Amino acid sequence: MKDYVSIRNKSGLISFQLHKKFLYVLFMLVLFSSFIIVLCLSIGSSFISPIEVVKYLFGFGSGEHDFILHTLRMPRVFLGFMVGAALGVSGLILQGIIRNPLASPDIIGITGGASVGAIIFIVYFMGTISLKWLPLAAILGAGIVSIFIYALSWKNGVTPIRLVLIGIGVAAAMNAIVTIMIVISETAVTTKAYLWLTGSLYGGNWEDVYLMLPWIIVFIPLTLFFSKTVNAKELGDDVATGLGVRVQWVRLSLLLISVALAGSAVAFAGGIGFVGLIAPHIARMLAGRMFGGLVFISALVGGSIVVLADVMARTAFLPLDIPAGVFTSGIGAPFFIYLLYRNRHNIR
Amino acid sequence: MLRKSFLALLTMLLASVILTACATDDSTNDNDANGDSAAEEKETASKEDSNGKEASIRVIKHAMGETEIEGTPERVVTLYQGATDAAVAMGIKPVGIVESWVEKPVYNYLRDDLDGVPIVGLETQPNLEEIAKLDPDLIIASKLRHEEIYEKLSQIAPTVAHETVYEFKETVELVGEAMNMAEKADEVLAAWDNRVADFKTKVQKKLGEKWPLNVGLLNFRADHARIYFTSFAGIVLNDLGFERPENQREDVWGIKLTSKESIPEMNADIFYIFMSDDEAVHQTYEEWTSHPLWKNLDAVKNDQVYLVDEVAWNMGGGILAANLMLDDIYDRLGLEE
């Protein structure tokens, strides 16, 4: 047991073990993420030296970069990091409870629900109601659709396979609704809808950052309550029940957390795809399979992916600023195919 | 234990939803308050100046509220195609424009006048850093496209916004007002009205009883066809006195037709068809126009089917594009201006 550090409070409510190597990985990743954030704050239409950026972050900056850094880049980078972190953890949870490496918020209908909420808002309320309410519509959509999926999957309890199948079915239905809505609306509205569906951090401001923050600081730590049970659940429902895990309660709670995280992420950044799928995989490659630690790693990896995608989106084709979702999908789709390939050939 | 934590979780979920809702509320109020106080500050500022300069501060009402503009702006950035077009029509060379939808980066008909003007990104996502670098003193935007970045644009320079992107005459008025060139705007619009009047008399003389014609504005896409009712071209045609067939008078943008069985819906005296230059689109066009139902349409029987330029008829969205459309219409009806 020397290689492990146990983290456990008195009542045992929070309890997980960390591999020593994990702490090293975590440390490196925090360093890496900070590096990425500073880099992304430096790059843009005009380059601001990283030293200047760090100075600014610690409050010693000169006023000359106020607009570019404080108003334009910082909210966008911070929001992107939180969105990525939320998606990463959400994907990790889903892959854990469904016990399928291909599970992600995109695939089981959460993103679909949020999209329908957002598109209904864009088609029917844009212009009359302020766009500030768009995130709420998206979160409501995600919530309602997930409850719907869960209710449909209920048959003396919910099994992962039913959840996935119904999730995929409902996701398809949601896509159909989105398509109908786009077909019936005029070009200008369609343009807005497509932009939202691709996913973009464009126009992110501090208000969004403050609204997103509570979701992150509440729900990501909350997952740690479940880390020991998720580890047991990885062995299958029957074994987990035998080990004393109340499988249904845990599953429902985790699903709710996952929906809250993915829903809030999608609400502020639109349909940024594949992050929820890739981030947990990269996290596992880096840090093994203990759920408790993976929560942090997935969050950091997810955050870094989105921030990197966004910086590419706003600098690769200067002066054009294109949606970040284009890049996450561009990286994500090949990765997905690789996962399918690996699954099939059992290469470990 | 778990039941307890589940309850706790549910409470937190609820709480955060409520918090989010409240927070959104608060922040909107905050913003309003900030806006107000900022406005007040400016008001007092202008009062202090009132001895000499008050006349030079103009308050422009527009789709996103009111904006104060001091003096005559010289460095304007236009963020939608129609506004760029309007600026050129009034003899203004913007310091920054957004990329065109086709014929990138600038429509051919505007290219000579906009030689060397930097592109600041896409109409849907203009690059704010690029705009800031240009140090403009006026930004012309559209609420439809730029509602969520309006605050940021306003921090760069006074920003006025139109509700849509295709009301070409209102765009000219807005640009005129904001640029302190209201007279020039009136002149451009008067020239347009004269042309419209000329067209109406001549078309009446030539067609007699048959005027006004029912016009069908068609657009083919890769997998469907559209009839446009109100749109940029719709507004122009309406101005010129064309009418729409009875089944196309609803006050919506238009309809999409996905089945060739709906071809009779298109029926009108004259067709103007625009489409993108794309293999799949041409394919759809061939398929639809070779369908037996197509031959029964009035416009086809009268040989009044015209393929028109999509930039002038749809993408341009400005007064110059409207004039190009009118040139085209004169031409095709065999009228002399």
Across the interface, of B125, B145, B155, the residue whose CB is closest to A321 is B125
8 A C-beta contact, residue A62 and residue A49: no
Residue B138 reports pLDDT greater than 60: yes
8 A C-beta contact, residue A98 and residue A163: yes
Selected residue with higher pLDDT from B283 and A66: B283
- Cβ B122–A139 below 8 Å, yes or no? no
| Contacts B126 to A, Cβ<8 Å | 321
Condensed to tens digits (0 to 9), the pLDDT of residues B25-75 reads 433 333 343 434 344 344 434 444 444 444 588 888 888 988 988 888 999
Rounded to the nearest integer, the mean pLDDT of chain B is: 82
Q: Which residues touch B42 (CB under 8 Å, ≥6 apart)? A: B68
Q: Tell me, what's the pLDDT at A85?
A: 94
Mean pLDDT, rounded, for B153-169: 90
Confidence of residue A213 (pLDDT cuts 50, 70, 90): very high
Confidence of residue B247 (pLDDT cuts 50, 70, 90): confident
Confidence of residue B81 (pLDDT cuts 50, 70, 90): very high
Q: Tell me, what's the pLDDT at A31?
A: 93
Confidence of residue A17 (pLDDT cuts 50, 70, 90): low
Work out the minimum CA distance from B262 to partner chain A, whole angstroms: 16
- Residues forming beta bridges with residue B217, ordered by sequence position: B228, B272
* Distance from C-alpha of A150 to C-alpha of A145, rounded to nearest angstrom: 9
Spell out the alpha helix ranges (H) of A203-290: 206-224, 227-233, 237-242, 247-269, 275-287
DSSP annotation string for B283-308: HHHHHHHTSGGGGGSHHHHTT-EEE-
Confidence of residue B190 (pLDDT cuts 50, 70, 90): very high
Establish if B29 touches chain A: CB-CB under 8 angstroms.
no
Establish if A72 touches chain B: CB-CB under 8 angstroms.
yes
* Distance from C-alpha of B148 to C-alpha of A310, rounded to nearest angstrom: 18
Work out the minimum CA distance from B77 to partner chain A, whole angstroms: 14
Window A:219-248, CB contacts with B under 8 Å: 219, 222, 225, 229, 246
Q: Tell me, what's the pLDDT at B21?
A: 46
Work out the minimum CA distance from A69 to partner chain B, whole angstroms: 10
Establish if B262 touches chain A: CB-CB under 8 angstroms.
no
Angle at CA of residue B108, ends B106 and B113, nearest 5°: 75
Work out the minimum CA distance from A277 to partner chain B, whole angstroms: 24
Confidence of residue A83 (pLDDT cuts 50, 70, 90): very high
Condensed to tens digits (0 to 9), the pLDDT of residues A303-317 reads 999 999 999 888 888
Bond prior to B264 in cis (omega within 30° of 0): no
| Contacts A195 to B, Cβ<8 Å | 124-125
Establish if B144 touches chain A: CB-CB under 8 angstroms.
yes
Condensed to tens digits (0 to 9), the pLDDT of residues B12-21 reads 555 554 444 4
Condensed to tens digits (0 to 9), the pLDDT of residues B271-292 reads 999 998 888 899 999 999 989 8
Confidence of residue A1 (pLDDT cuts 50, 70, 90): very low
Window A:258-297, CB contacts with B under 8 Å: 260
Q: Tell me, what's the pLDDT at A346?
A: 61
Mean pLDDT, rounded, for B123-135: 90
Rounded to the nearest integer, the mean pLDDT of chain A is: 83
- Cβ B17–A257 below 8 Å, yes or no? no
Q: Tell me, what's the pLDDT at B192?
A: 93
Q: Tell me, what's the pLDDT at A340?
A: 77
Establish if A132 touches chain B: CB-CB under 8 angstroms.
yes
Stretch (H or E) spanning A309 = helix A291-315
Token pair recorded at residue A160: 């992962």
Structure pTM?
A: 0.81
Window B:77-106, CB contacts with A under 8 Å: 99
Q: What percent of chain B has pLDDT over 90?
A: 34
- Cβ A225–B130 below 8 Å, yes or no? no
Condensed to tens digits (0 to 9), the pLDDT of residues A243-290 reads 767 777 888 888 889 888 988 898 888 888 788 888 998 888 887 777
Q: Tell me, what's the pLDDT at B34?
A: 40
